[in-house]
């Protein structure tokens, strides 16, 4: 339940995702998809039930240490003043220039020069370019920063079919390294790329 609200933002009996698996989360607007990601990130605590990570209750873990295990792509990636490359490198500050270029390729963003200037909040980039920079940052965090969980909220929204196909192929490659991937998705292509689907409804979630 979100603060100040009586009605639960999410009701879910049970769900799980394994290392090396892509789980697509689907459902109508307002059914709790983004709330589920907020719970997994430790931003929201469930009123009842618990989140179990490797047999441990998330409520008992250091949330900052937990978030170090996660790469996260929100609907609107947060960008800062600098360059494309410096924004990607926020995912893994010790990454090499080669790592950054690979991450851009992974995100179908190799048309964006790493030295291209970026203003505060992504000024100077289109919404699709900002999204691809956010994707590249998350992929870098997984490949060079050690994250073992990848959470994504509508990662291919606004991308053309060719770029969407490339990004989804990267998701499969990332999962194949043992990373657990959770993708909130509306588009059919993203759902079909998943190993399993969690469809959220009101008031329960149904695992398909």
Q: Judge if 1-69+148-208 and 78-146 fold alike in CATH terms.
A: yes
Distance CA 145, CA 147 (A): 6
Mean of pLDDT values over 128-150: 96
Output the CATH code of domain 1-69+148-208.
3.40.50.300
Task: Note whether 23 and 191 are within 8 A (CB).
Answer: no
Residues 144, 147: Cα–Cα separation, whole Å = 8
- Are 89 and 79 in contact by the 8 Å Cβ rule? The answer is no
Q: Please provide the CATH number assigned to the domain covering 78-146.
A: 3.40.50.300
Domain ranges of the chain: 1-69+148-208, 78-146
Top pLDDT among 11 and 20 is at 20
Task: Quickly state the pLDDT bin for 205 (edges 50, 70, 90).
Answer: very low
Q: What is the pLDDT of residue 13?
A: 64
Q: Which two tokens stand for residue 120?
A: 């505060």
Using DSSP's 3-state secondary structure scheme, residue 157 falls into coil
In tens, the pLDDT along 155-198 reads 999 899 999 999 999 999 999 999 999 999 887 888 888 999 99
Q: Would you say residue 131 has pLDDT above 90?
A: yes
Give tens-digit pLDDT for 59-103. 888 989 999 999 999 999 999 999 999 999 999 999 999 999 999
Q: pTM for the full model? A: 0.87
């Amino acid at each position: 339940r979100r603060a100040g609200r009586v009605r639960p933002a999410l009701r879910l009996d049970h769900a799980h995702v394994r290392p090396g698996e892509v789980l697509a989360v689907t459902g109508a607007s307002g059914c709790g998809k983004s709330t589920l990601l907020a719970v997994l990130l430790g931003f929201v605590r469930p009123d009842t039930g618990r989140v179990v990570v490797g047999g441990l209750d998330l409520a008992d873990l250091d949330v900052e240490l937990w978030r170090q295990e996660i790469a996260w792509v929100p609907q609107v990636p947060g960008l800062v003043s600098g360059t494309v490359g410096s924004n990607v490198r926020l995912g893994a500050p010790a990454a090499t220039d080669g790592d950054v270029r690979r991450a851009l390729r992974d995100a179908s963003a190799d048309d964006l020069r790493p030295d291209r200037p970026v203003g505060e909040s992504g000024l100077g980039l289109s919404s699709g370019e900002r999204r691809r920079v956010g994707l590249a940052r998350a992929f870098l965090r997984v490949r060079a920063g050690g994250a073992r969980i990848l959470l994504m909220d509508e990662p291919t929204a606004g991308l053309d079919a060719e770029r969407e196909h490339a990004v989804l192929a990267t998701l499969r490659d990332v999962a194949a390294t043992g990373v657990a991937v959770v993708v909130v998705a509306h588009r059919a292509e993203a759902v079909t790329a998943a190993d399993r689907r969690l469809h959220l409804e009101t008031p329960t979630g149904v695992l398909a």
